[in-house]
Structure formats: structure tokens, C-alpha cells
Structure 1
Amino acid sequence: MEIFNFFPLRHHHMLQVSYALLIISCIPFAISDINDKHIVEDSREIIPFQKFGFLEDGHTLISIKDISWKSKAHKAQLNLNSMGFYIFKMSFLGPILKEAIRNKHSCVLSSKYVQVLSTFEKLTTNSSAYNVSTTVDEPDEYILSFVNCKADLFEVSMNVHTEMYNLKHGEKEFLSAGKTNLPILYFLLFLIYTSFFVIWVFTCIKQRPITEKIHTIMGALLLFKMLSMISAFEYYMYVRKTGTPHGWDIAFYVFGLFKSVLLFTVIVLIGTGWCFLKPHLQVREKKVLMVVMPLQVVENIAYVILREKGLTTKEWSFLCFTWKRTLLLVDVVCCCAIFFPIIWSMINLREASKTDGKAARNLEKLKLFKQFYMVLVGYLYFTRVAVPEINYRLNYRYEWVGNATEECVSLAFYVFIFYNFKPIERNPYLVIDEEEEKAAGQFLEDGTLI
């Protein structure tokens, strides 16, 4: 049986498996666990709907209406048992794919690794709708899918309403088991960033004579980070209780966009030394900003498309391959681009220290920029490499731990930036003795900081 027939992979079994795993890896983007999907003349063999982590009292509800199919071959005979909905454990994905490769003509509905929820055999005469409700007996992470084992002969059209939830104290929880702690996590982060923002505003007011434009932009970054945290809290809270975000997803995406753009902008501006080392940006530094800011907009658009576009759409294979690659490429370009201003500033400080006779003062600044460079490398590596690896290895019940880890690292990065580049009065008449000046100059000549 051909599990995913978006591309002609019939004769390349390892490519089939790899492609199927890639498609499944995109499933976590579906957050809302009440879904309404309209499928029109779809000839895919497998249509994945969503992934969900069930606890001891898990339930699945499927409502199908306006079911119809169109034959692609003259006088083709349809077996209604060859079309239906099923769920299977994520851990069984490998065995299911191996079964399909060994027996290309088998139907996944006959596999021992799946739990069949319903087939079109339940359709009665002159009926094009039915409902099915199922209790999940074994707690685990499951995938809900539809299969058309006669996809080479028939195209299917239908409207599908699905609900997946756990019962806790008699109430429905529509968030997957590993995400139930996300509302409280984001609410705590909202309180932390609100306090952070208030302290920053107070500091800027207190140091108003030496507060620069960069400090105002940093304050705006904290504001949008705070708003994105409260939006995330409301988003996951509504999904947890009702299964849909009630519009909070829009606020979540908008504030997230501004937060991402401002974060990279602040990093670039600090890296250039704007307002700290010089009052104006050079042409090459402006070009970096002109590249990074639009790319951040593109990256956030790609993120929203991947998160919101359901797996049931025919274009999902295209979206998964193109937008996910776009997301990765744009992120890599942005991460590389923001290092250039920091390196330029470090080189300029090093060269200036050799000519202006202020090696010790420039050495102090150089050390700070070196620390900023190293912390930035660690932050980007951890959030782009370590966090996905942690998420991959976590049990489905502790999926929230990955989010908490990433946010804690982000908070530490924010604290470092705002503490080290806060508006403080620096003494321009710092007295340096000859031995300190000589040691600083020698340190710079050795090039150990670059």
C-alpha cells in the first residue's frame, strides 16, 4: 500500500518512509483540537487530521456529512469498507510503514497496529452522514487519519468535524496531555516580563538625561514580549477549555511578529554600537537591518502558514516542503547576518585602541562585546538546535517542558542584554595608570579577543 502518494515514490521504499516521517513531523502545528475540514475530490490515500496525547480518559468524536465520491475509472466498484477513519499510536508508525512496504496491496484498516473508528459501511441508504464517538483505552500519543484504500479509483469529498479531548474531573480538556501546563507557564512569564518592563521604564525615567533611542526600542521589545506572553496564555487557555482560540491566535501571531522583528533589530543595533559607541549607523549596518527585518516578517508568515494550514488540505505536501525549508533558510540567514555588526564593532574597537591611547577603556568595551557575541551564539544554538532535540526526546506528557526550557533561556538572554546595556552614566575621564594601559595594549596586540 502506498502511504503517501503526493510524489512518485512507488519504487523507492526508503524515500517513502522518509517522506512519511517528514509529513508526520509537521502534525504538531495543529493546536486547536476541535477542527472542521472541508475535503473536495481528494485522491490521497492517507489524509492525516491531527495528533493528540490522550490520558486515561480520552475521547474522540467524529462527525461526517455530505459524503460523496467520484470514480476515476469506468465501472469501478467501490467497497465501502476500504474507506474510513482510524487512530494509531505514534510509536506504531514505523511498523505500519514496514507493513505497507512488505504488502503494497494491503489496506491499513486491516493492520493490527491501528484502531478502526469507522468505515463508510455505516452509511445507510440515501444517507451521506454519520457520527462516531470512541473512548481511547490506552493512554498514549495518537494520530487520527482517514484512509482511502481505493485512491487510484475514487476521489472523496466530505465535511468532517473532529473533537479530541481528555476528561479531567468531569470536564473536557481539549489540549493534548503534554500542553495542559502551557497556560500557567505563559501566565507566569507574562507576570515576569510585566515586572521587567516596569523596572526598565523606571530605570529609563530615572536616567532620562543619558537615555538613548536604543533604550526606547528595547522597552518596546519588552512590551511586545509581554503582550505575546499574555496572548499565548489566553490562546492556550481558550483552546484547553473550548477547543478553539476564539481569535486569540491572531493577537498571538501579531505580537509575536513585532517581538521577533524588534528582537533581531535590537541585537543588530547593539551589535553596531549605535548610541553606545557612535550616534549614527554606517551604510553596511543599515543594509543588515534592511535584510534582517523583512526576512523576519517572511519567517513569521511562514510560521503562521505552517501552524494554521491543516494537514487535510491537498497543498500540505507543498507547504511542508517549501515553507518549512523557507522557515529554516530565513532563520539561518538572519542568525548569520546579525553576527556581522558585532564582529565589525569588535574590530573597530581593537583598531581604535591602538591609535587613540585609550586601550583600557576600549578593552572594557571589547570584553563586553565579546561576551555579547558568545551569549548570542549560545542563545541561538540552544533555541535552534538544543530545544528541538529536547522536544524530540521528551515523553508526550511532558511536551510543555520544551517550551519552558526555551522561554527560560530567552529570559536569561533578555536579562543579559538589558542589564549590560542599560542607561548608566559612564565616566569619560577614567584615569588609567601606565601599567594597566600597557597590559591592555599588549592584550589587544595578541588578538586574544577576536
Structure 2
Amino acid sequence: MAIPTPFFVFFLLLVSSAMAEIKELQITSDPRPMILFEKFGFTHGGSVSISVSSAVVSAPSSVDPSLLGFFLLSDDNLLQAIYQSELQQQDQNPNPSCVLSSTYVRVLFTFRDLSPSSSFNRTFPVDLPDEYSLFFANCAPSSAAVTMSVRTEMYNSRPDGSRDYLSVGQAPVPTVYSAFALLYVLFLAAWTYFLFKNRLSSHRIHYLMAALLLTKALNLIFAAEDQHYIRSTGTPHGWDVLFYLFQFLKGVLLFTVIVLIGTGWSFLKPFLQDREKKILILVIPLQVIANLASVVIGETGPFIRDWVTWNQVFLLIDIVCCCAILFPIVWSIRSLRETSKTDGKAAKNLAKLTLFRQFYIALVGYLYLTRIVVYALRTIAAYKYQWVSVEAEEAVSLAFYLFMFYMFRPVERNEYFVIDDEEEEAAEAALREEEFEL
């Protein structure tokens, strides 16, 4: 069986470095020719531990056990392996060789090495530092299905002999999360003080924004705790439950706050129109589904059959939510433009238009940077620096939060609404020019 090129293209597009905590899983009657278990960045002295039990191959006829086994493939050899596969396809080889016989993979063991009780347990050292992917290959006929219990551990050894279960590129992530959690706690304290100081000018939206900061800080705190325990023990110790809970609350509150700010609720008007309510009714259930997909992706791994589907579901929902929250801002801008023609408050309307346009541009920039640029950075960054994409994403998020909270802060005389006669005349001219351009 040649290495399937489409698989590796998809592999490059979707699979990022995993947390690589200890995995215990059950594979039942699985006929897939190749299964990806983990992807991990090793330092000098890294190790892979694999334990297989109750291994059974179901096939109409006998199968050569050397055609089934586990192997490691480094990122450096990935392109070479793809090139070798393409050459075999161009030669139209009717009997392409099994991936386990490729010179570009490191075979750990095959089913020929199983004990009489169909089990195997061994730890393999990794001498060359790199990012490796752990695969199971089934080069037997397509009718052959595999059933087995598998336990995997991938870790690096510290100088004191203890194990580090985080990939080398993920090792600084707990510190990154802790630092940003502290920043958000300080942010929340400053925002709470500002609300108390300007409580007469505070609206309901401002208290909802405070709740958003609280959930964001708690999300980062439990993310740091989760990553720390995984790094030390290989298991999350239950912290992942709280992490996913506050991740869900943060996501719902963030999109809700953006929609409400975009409609001017509580800040410019005390009500929501039906179409704006429909956006919220759409976004909140989608966030529930997106977070469910996130839990499945984070708690299982690429070895499950539906892992790709859950990734696609998460990506699709995220895109829909990001597009949906832009509409209320566009509606507000259009409404302000129409109002400016009739109410005679040119400067005030121009100030509101400026405010919402800047918010719209900031939101588009935030979505672009966190959904596209950060993903590209995660893809192209060397395996040792995968943590940089996490830091970049949190830095962009913090910058957007600071901008949004500053623009819509509770003050008695907002700079956008402090006008004089000269500004009124200039605003009327600007609105007339804009109407002429439209």
C-alpha cells in the first residue's frame, strides 16, 4: 500500500500539534488503511510508549501480520514520503509497496511482534529531535478490519528524569495562558473601578462586558491549570471540564456583546428589533454546537473515524457565527445614515457613524487575524515555536477587547458626542459629501 497523497494533504491542512496526554482507546473492526494517533515535538531524550492488547484481525483469509503495524513519520520526511508515493502512482505500479517498508518512516513494530496473547508493550527512544506523527498502518486487503486496545504515551525527559507530556512547542503554553489570565484580571479590576466611578453613565451592556472579562479570565486560568497538569502527569485531572465550561460561556458572551454593541442596545437604544433578536437566537445555539465539536476534537483525537467531520462542523459554525455578528453593525451604520437626513443632528450622527465604522473595521481585523493569520502562523511555524501562535492569538484578542471596551466605555461626556457649532457645520458638509458619493 502506497502512502495516500490526499491523506497527507489533508493531514497538513487540519492536524496541528496535539497536547499528547496519555491516550487509552479502543479500536473496533476498523478497516482504515492508516490511522493517525498523535503528533508530538520531541527534544533529545524523548520517548514513545505503546501498549497493545487484544489485537485481532478480521479477514476472509489469512493476513500477513507484517503488513500491520505502528510507525513514526517526521515532518522532515513527510514531503519525501509524498514524493515517493507520487512516483509509484506515476509508474502505475499494480502492487505498490506498503508504507511500513518505506525508507522514510521509522517502523516501531508490526503484528508479527505480538506475543501469543496478541499483546505488545514497549517504549521506544527518539534520538533525533523533530516533530513526529504516530500512525497505525493496515496494508492488508481492504476487507481486513482491526480490533485492539491501545495505550500511547509520548513525552520528553527533563534533566531531573521527570517526564514532560507537552510537545516541545507547547511547553511554554501554560506560562502564556497564566500571563494573559493575570492581564485580564487586572483589566477586570480596572473596568469594575471605572464602572463604579461612572455608575450614573453605566448601562446594562457595560455590566455584560464585565461578565465577559470575568469568563475570559477564568477560561485562561483553567486553561493554564489544564495544560500544567497535562505537562506533569499526562492527564488533565478534571480541569478540562471547567476549561470547556468557561470557554463556552466566553464564546457565547463575546458574540452576544458584539451583537448588542453592534445594534446599539442599552448604549444608544433600550430595545432590539426582531431581526436582531433572530441573530442572537441563531448565534447562541451555534455556539453550543461549536463548543460541543471543540470538546470532541480536544478530548479524542484524529484516531476516531468522525474526527475530520467534527473539525469541519467546528470550522463551518465558526464561519457562520463570524459572518452573522457583522450584520447588526452594518444595519446600525445604514440606520444612522438614513437618520442623518431627517433629524438635523449632523455632528452627532456623523460621530455615531464614525464610532460604528471603526468598530466594524476593528471586528473584521480581529476575526481575520484570529481565524486566518493565527492559523497560518500555526501551520508555518517551526514545531519548536508552536506556542507563538497561542501567544499571538491571545495578544490580538486582548488588543480587540481593549479597543472595544475603550470605544464603548461609560463616560458622562463621550468624546464622540461633545460637539460645537463649527463641528456641526463640518459634519453637515461631510454627510452631504457622503450622500453625494453614494
Q: Shorter-chain TM-score: which interval?
A: over 0.9
Tell whether the 8 Å contact from 1:39 to 1:159 is kept in structure 2 after alignment.
Answer: yes
Structure 2: how far apart are the matches of 1:241 and 1:164?
A: 12
Residue 347 (str. 1) matches residue 334 (str. 2): yes
For the pair 1:127 / 2:127, whether they are aligned, the reply is no
What pairs with 1:258-269 in structure 2 (closer than 5 Å)? 258-269=249-260
CA offsets, 1:118-176, max 9 Å, x none? 1222234x322221211111111101111222143532221111111111212210000
Q: Secondary structure at the match of 2:362?
A: helix
1:360 aligns with 2:351: no
5 Å matches for 1:147-166?
Answer: 147-166=137-156
d(CA) in 2 for partners of 1:431 and 1:197? 31
- Structure 1: any 5+ residue segments left out of the alignment? 4-15
Partner of 2:21: 33
Amino acid aligned to 2:126: V
TM alignment of 1:365-376, pairs within 5 A:
365-376=352-363
Matched, 1:402 2:389: yes
Counterpart CA distance in 1 for 2:82 and 2:198 is: 64
2:292 maps to which residue? 301
Aligned to 2:36: 48
Query: Secondary structure, in 3 states, of the residue corresponding to 1:113?
Result: coil
Residues 185 and 351 (structure 1 numbering): CA distance in 2 closer, same or farther, change over 3 Å? same
Contact kept, 8 Å, 2:188 with 2:214, in 1: the verdict is: yes
Q: C-alpha offsets along residues 234-260 of structure 1, whole Å, 9 cap, x if unaligned?
A: 111011111111111111111111101
CA distance in 1, matches of 2:40, 2:287: 30
Structure 2 distance, partners of 1:156, 1:348, is 62
What CA distance in whole angstroms lies between the structure 1 residues aligned with 2:332 and 2:144?
A: 64
1:43, 1:151 within 8 Å by CA — same for their partners in 2?
no
Q: 1:232 aligns with which of 223, 240, 252?
A: 223
> Which of 59, 70, 76 pairs up with 1:85?
70
Segments of 4+ moved more than 6 angstroms:
none
The residue number in structure 2 matching 1:279 is: 270
TM normalised by structure 1 equals 0.90
Do structure 1's residue 250 and structure 2's residue 237 form an aligned pair?
no
SS of 1:139 mapped into structure 2: coil
- Partner SS, residue 164 of structure 1: strand
Distance (whole Å) between structure 1 residues aligned to residue 185 and residue 363 of structure 2: 23
Separation of aligned partners in 1, 2:68 and 2:252: 46
> SS of the counterpart of 1:85?
strand
- Residues 212 and 254 in structure 2, CA contact (< 8 A), matched pair in contact too: yes
**1:413 shift after superposition:** 0.2
Shift of 1:34: 1.0
1:32/1:245 contact within 8 Å kept: no
Mapped to 1, the partners of 2:353 and 2:143 lie a distance apart of: 69
Q: Is residue 44–residue 151 contact of structure 1 (8 Å, CA) maintained in 2?
A: no
Cα distance between partner residues in 1 of 2:10 and 2:150? 24
Aligned in 2, Cα 1:160/1:166: closer, same or farther, shift over 3 Å? same
Instruction: Provide the rounded CA distance (Å) in 1 between the counterparts of 2:378 and 2:329.
Output: 31
1:447 aligns to what SS in structure 2? helix
Q: Residue 45 of structure 1 contacts residue 148 of structure 1 at CA under 8 Å; is this kept in 2?
A: yes
Task: Measure the CA separation in 2 of the matches of 1:364 and 1:429.
Answer: 7
Question: Of residues 71, 74, 96 in structure 2, which corresponds to 1:105?
Answer: 96
Structure 2: state its 5+ residue gaps: none
User: Is the 1:2–1:45 contact (alpha carbons within 8 Å) kept by the matching residues of 2?
Assistant: no
Corresponding residue for residue 288 of structure 1: 279
Whether the 8 Å CA contact 1:29–1:306 is kept in 2: the answer is no
Letter of the 1:393 partner, please give it. I
Aligned residue in 2 for 1:9: none
CA distance in 2, matches of 1:328, 1:164: 28
Q: 2:420 aligns with which of 432, 438, 442?
A: 432
Q: Retained in 1: the 8 A contact 2:41–2:383?
A: yes
- Work out whether residues 215 and 246 of structure 2, in 8 Å CA contact, stay in contact via their aligned partners in 1: yes
How many pairs were matched up?
429
Distance 1:370 1:260 in 2: 23
The residue number in structure 2 matching 1:382 is 369
TM-score of the superposition, structure 2-length normalised? 0.92
Alpha-carbon spacing, 1:446–1:323, altered in 2? closer, same or farther (3 Å) = farther
What is the deviation of 1:377? 1.0
> Structure 2: which amino acid aligns with 1:195?
L
Cα distance in 1, alignment partners of residues 195 and 419 from structure 2 = 28
